[in-house]
Amino acid sequence: MPDSEKTAPSAISVCPNCESGEMEAFYEVKGIPVHSVLLMPSREHAVDYPKRDLRLGFCPECGFVSNILFDPTVHEYSTSCEESQGFSPTFNAFAKDLAKRWVEEYELKDKTVLEIGCGKGEFLALMVEEGMSHGIGIDPAFVPERLDTPVASRLEFIQDLYDERYTHLKADAVCCRHTLEHISPTSEFMRKVQKTIGDQKDTILLFELPDVHRVLKEAAFWDIYYEHCSYFTTGSLARLFRKHGFDPLELMLEYDDQYIVIAGKPASGAKVPLLDGEDDLKRITEEVKAFPERFRKLKESWLEKIDGFYSAGKRTIVWGGGSKAVSFLTTLGLGEQIDFVVDINPHKHGKFIPGTGHAVRSPDTLREDKPDCVILMNPVYEKEVREQLNGMGLDPTIFPV
């Protein structure tokens, strides 16, 4: 377990993304768990889990947003992490479509893909199932017995963090999904990717990560948590690619505009025009200025609503036991107002939310402990969740965040 008594590092002053702009602080939340995908074996462990302060800073030069108090030494990425979204039919359909599109659009059949931060290996397997010849995955959270795929013999995994030791690995495509947001020195990371690619000018980069423009515009504080130290817009991500010699080939928002999907390749030297979404610096600057007041109002609104449910004797649960729930519960300081959390991932059942200590249960328990109100941590799953509730004969009021 991380040492909660360690002194936090000094605040980052120079942007770790463009390495030139000065970071300007605009949002802070104190005492939040340093992990949110590492669920706890008991309520005591959960409540006592190490906490740190988070302070978001903004770079006016490149539009990058970062936790300028971030300390990577407190993390314990391992097989105990439970980051998989692969138990949701909605998410699985999205991931399969994305893998299929990437393989076809970039002519990757019969080629090799390296995935940095492959998690439990589900997406890497999809890429190979869609026609790639071989997949190499790197992630300390990979669990061999969890992956069931007919292409297992064409996959290899390294249970470790990606660093200089693995820059010798070669592939026709380098994939990195929902990983860059966990890395603070983003420019240093991209230099490692450059070294991995070397002089292979045909290599395709395929990245996917959350879009912070939506977070700022909606004041979605539940999407801000300690593990996510780096926050990108389409523009700041494209600028990072270009800074390190990669021309963006596509730049778009997917999954109900929650995720940025970008593809790139080593620059040829010819001038490549800006893609839609790159010229966003003025827009993101305005959203950063407006965020603190938006957050204050939304926090007050949620607390008033939830306290009202509690005062009325309504059983209120949170659906979704991932990072969003951890941030939502801890940022609002919720305790007995929420009865428990449910999640469809069976590996989370019987565990506890770090920080607040709420139990995570199977949706099946709702047959007995019928909720009046369901706070849904991601509106993209509303149809899926409503069907599951109705299938159990339940019709609670759903409040998507």
Asked if the structure places residue 298 within a domain, the reply is no
Domain holding 177: CATH number?
A: 3.40.50.150
Beta-strand ranges (E) seen in 335-372 are 340-342, 360-361
Crossing angle for the helix pair 122-129 and 89-105, to the nearest 10 degrees: 50
Are 262 and 250 in contact by the 8 Å Cβ rule? The answer is yes
- How confident is the model at residue 1, as a pLDDT? 45
Asked if residue 373 belongs to a domain, the reply is no
Under 8 Å between Cβ of 66 and 17: yes
CA distance 264 to 335: 45
Question: Which residue in 152, 193, 162 sits closest to 77, CA to CA?
Answer: 162
Task: Write down the residue that tokens 């020195």 correspond to.
Answer: 185
Contact 303, 361 (CB under 8 A): no
Please check the confidence at residue 69 and state whether its pLDDT lies above 70: yes
Strand partners, 376: 319, 400
pLDDT over 70 at 249, yes or no: yes
How many angstroms separate the CA atoms of 375 and 365, rounded? 16
Domain presence at residue 261: yes
The candidate with the shortest Cα–Cα distance to 332, out of 311, 313, 318, is 318
Please count the structural domains in the chain.
1
Alpha-carbon dihedral sign for residues 269, 273, 277, 279: positive
Q: What is the mean pLDDT of residues 67-89?
A: 88
Pairing assessment for the beta strands 24-33 and 51-58 based on DSSP bridges: antiparallel
187 C-beta neighbours (distance < 10 Å), count = 16
**Is the distance from CB of 372 to CB of 54 less than 8 angstroms?**
no
Residues 6+ apart with CB under 8 A from 312: none
Lowest mean pLDDT among 5-14, 114-123, 328-337, 370-379: 5-14
pLDDT value at 4 more than 60? no
Structural domain includes residue 162: yes
Q: What is the rounded CA–CA span in Å between residue 6 and residue 4?
A: 6
Task: Determine the pLDDT at residue 6.
Answer: 55
Any domain includes 140: yes
Residue 65 to residue 59: CA distance in whole angstroms: 6
Give a yes or no: residue 230 inside a domain. yes
Asked if residue 108 belongs to a domain, the reply is: yes
Q: How far apart are CA 264 and CA 368, in angstroms?
A: 51
pTM above 0.85, yes or no: yes
**Six-digit token string for 114:** 């390296």
- Nearest Cα to Cα of residue 25 among 72, 57, 73, 53: 57
Domain residue limits at 225: 89-283
Residue type, 51: K
Residue 119 lies in a domain: yes
Residues 6+ away with beta carbon under 8 Å from 7: none
Task: For residue 9, give the DSSP letter.
Answer: P
- Mean pLDDT along residues 185-193: 97
Q: Average of pLDDT values for 288-305?
A: 98
